[in-house]
Structure 1
Amino acid sequence: MTTITTRYGELTPQTTATELRRKDIEPITYHANGQVKSIPLETQTPIVTPAGAIPAELVSFHENGTINRIFPLNGKLSGYWTQEDEESLAAPVRLLTPLGKREARVISVSFYDNEAIRSITLWPGETIPVSTASGFIQARIGISFTRDGVIESLEPAAPSTIQTLAGEITAFDPDAVGVNGDANSLVFDEDGNVIRVTTTLSKLKAVHPNGTISHFVPGTRESLCSESEEEIVPMVVSIGKQTITIQTTATAPARKLPLDQHLFFTEPYLPQLANSLERMHCSI
């Protein structure tokens, strides 16, 4: 076996494949400048990073040679090797993060090209406590950070009351997809203010000085299980310096309301409360 020299040491690329878990021998890829882009490893190898030593079966790099993303496991899912089989091999990883020391089972850890940690992607069911300006929030799926180590976004593991310029909104996205933790439904600016929140449990009322009142609630869509059923669609509220933008469904046009021309009020959206914690059972 040959090895590849990186600033993180000698790494041995994958040269064998197992019948069930790693069926194919994945290729090494390169950036246009000749720098290695990704290396599937023959065996799980610890990579020493500023966030700690992270076990890796797949590593990707930035063009300057620094780590881009580390995957502790790199099995191929199939009818013979399921997500549950792969997850059973996942061991907790100790990380030094902008939140402090944390230990969790991770699908991947991503870094900026200056080696600052960019995001953490968690296995389903795994959560990490996060201290925010809105209080402690248990995060699932993922957490992302700015280059300066400020929390950029997270995915709430349970409905969480968040104070915004539009009022208190219960943040929760029951249909969040855990592809990676780079982008999540609850987003902050560098001062810790909420600038985007997704909800199925709050409704919003905007009152214009001329007496016009606009109501916004999470939308619904036809269930994929039955034409006679409907399921909730999360509403996204984006808070800018001058406007609040509300999108009740992914396909509906967004409404932009000037902050200086409206008073905003929020209330619980009770029709959805009974089924609020469940993932959309017919979602794709």
Structure 2
Amino acid sequence: MPTCQTENYGPLAGVTYLETYTNGSPKGCAFDEPNTINTPVGMLIPHYGPANLRNREGLALEFFKSGQIKSIDLENATEVITSLGNLSAERISFYENGRIHRLFPLNGRINGYWTEHDEYTLAKPMAFDLAVGAFSAKVVSLCFYESGALKSLTMWPQETIEINSPDGLVKVRYGFSLYENGKLKSFEPALPEPIVTPIGIVIAYDSNAHGINCDENSVNYSPAGKVRSLITGNNGLMITAPEGKQFVQPLMKPGTLDPEVLVPEPMTIVFSDGKMEIIQDNIVTVDLKTATVRSILVHDPMKKSCGDCSSCSSCG
């Protein structure tokens, strides 16, 4: 099918593959010749032609059922208009109102022939001056609110930055998320970080963090800057309640590098409405109005718990 007619963007030429909704409107297209799409963030040309070593196969252009653009894989890196200024993108997803949802500076496919290192080498540092601090980093993706405000920033795993938090200056890996007013919502600690909580200081660090996107992270704050939840592999909790005492600590499980070596599995602690939940294989709920909780260091973040430290992040 060489041509596809769209309601909002006119005819699209060189269509090699077309998916449609049940009403017949286009859902997604692939192309073998250039098309220019007029969007609220500028004129964009979706990828066309066969895939190569780095380019992804599949739909270059996707639409909402309303006919508005949903996502685009660009033929070339293109500067687009954002609330942070003009930013270079190879892939963009949109809200239905035409505002940017996610922006990817690079969009190469990682496989046996094109590695993460290859893609990281292509990435260029981007400079930011935000309410949480000024820094420069190589970025995997940026997520925006419909208003245009930055929602989250995801970095390459090799990157580490420092930002301001309610707990002071913290080192961050993978990225962080923001409230719409620019205040810090969550971050992924690059090192075990002491965090002030309703039960005292707890060391926050998630050895299993993945950084696929940083909309949610290990340390989460309320809009008022109070900790809502964190993940720890370093602290145990001594709970003294009317019904007795209970000690909860990270479970020891086989390590990913060496299943013969047991390492602490991080547990999640959630605070809300005078209560605390400790989430591991089971959930322990504590009423902080009637119980007292003491945080105890059970795994020293300054000491490594496994043998091969050169390629392991389980202790920080």
TM value normalised by structure 2:
0.82
Where do 5+ consecutive residues of structure 1 fail to align?
none
CA distance in 1, matches of 2:157, 2:215: 16
Counterpart of 1:214? 246
Where do 5+ consecutive residues of structure 2 fail to align?
1-33
Is the 2:133–2:163 contact (alpha carbons within 8 Å) kept by the matching residues of 1?
no
Counterpart of 1:176? 209
CA distance in 1, matches of 2:245, 2:73: 57
Counterpart of 2:189? 156
Question: CA separation of 1:225/1:25 partners in 2, compared to 1, >3 Å: closer, same or farther?
Answer: closer
Counterpart of 1:274? 304
Counterpart of 2:286? 257
Check if 1:144 corresponds to 2:177.
yes
Check if 1:121 corresponds to 2:154.
yes
The total of aligned residue pairs comes to 277
Check if 1:204 corresponds to 2:237.
yes
Read off the aligned partner of 2:313 and give its amino acid letter.
R
Secondary structure (helix, strand or coil) at the match of 1:264 reads: strand
Read off the aligned partner of 1:258 and give its amino acid letter.
D
Pair member with larger Rg: 2
Is the 1:17–1:23 contact (alpha carbons within 8 Å) kept by the matching residues of 2?
no
Counterpart of 2:135? 102
Is the 1:141–1:178 contact (alpha carbons within 8 Å) kept by the matching residues of 2?
yes
Counterpart of 2:271? 239
Question: CA separation of 1:154/1:224 partners in 2, compared to 1, >3 Å: closer, same or farther?
Answer: closer
Displacement of 1:34 in angstroms is 1.1
Secondary structure (helix, strand or coil) at the match of 1:86 reads: helix
Is the 1:204–1:215 contact (alpha carbons within 8 Å) kept by the matching residues of 2?
yes
CA distance in 2, matches of 1:134, 1:2: 49
Displacement of 1:160 in angstroms is 0.7
The CA RMSD over aligned residues, in Å, is: 2.0
Q: Encode CA deviations 1:133-152: one digit per residue, 9 max, x unaligned.
A: 21111111120011222211
CA distance in 1, matches of 2:259, 2:232: 24
CA distance in 2, matches of 1:96, 1:60: 24
Secondary structure (helix, strand or coil) at the match of 2:282 reads: coil
Read off the aligned partner of 1:274 and give its amino acid letter.
K
Q: Encode CA deviations 1:7-58: one digit per residue, 9 max, x unaligned.
A: 1110111113453111525320011211100011010011121112221000
CA distance in 2, matches of 1:142, 1:225: 24
Check if 1:69 corresponds to 2:98.
no
Is the 1:207–1:262 contact (alpha carbons within 8 Å) kept by the matching residues of 2?
yes
- Aligned residues: percent identity? 31
Question: CA separation of 1:100/1:131 partners in 2, compared to 1, >3 Å: closer, same or farther?
Answer: closer
Q: Encode CA deviations 1:75-109: one digit per residue, 9 max, x unaligned.
A: 11111100111110000012343324432110000
Counterpart of 1:33? 66
Is the 1:16–1:25 contact (alpha carbons within 8 Å) kept by the matching residues of 2?
no
Displacement of 1:253 in angstroms is 1.7
Displacement of 1:111 in angstroms is 0.2
Is the 1:154–1:186 contact (alpha carbons within 8 Å) kept by the matching residues of 2?
yes
Counterpart of 2:262? 230
Equivalent runs, 1:179-194 vs 2, <5 Å: 179-194=212-227
Q: Encode CA deviations 1:116-158: one digit per residue, 9 max, x unaligned.
A: 1100000012122121121111111120011222211100000
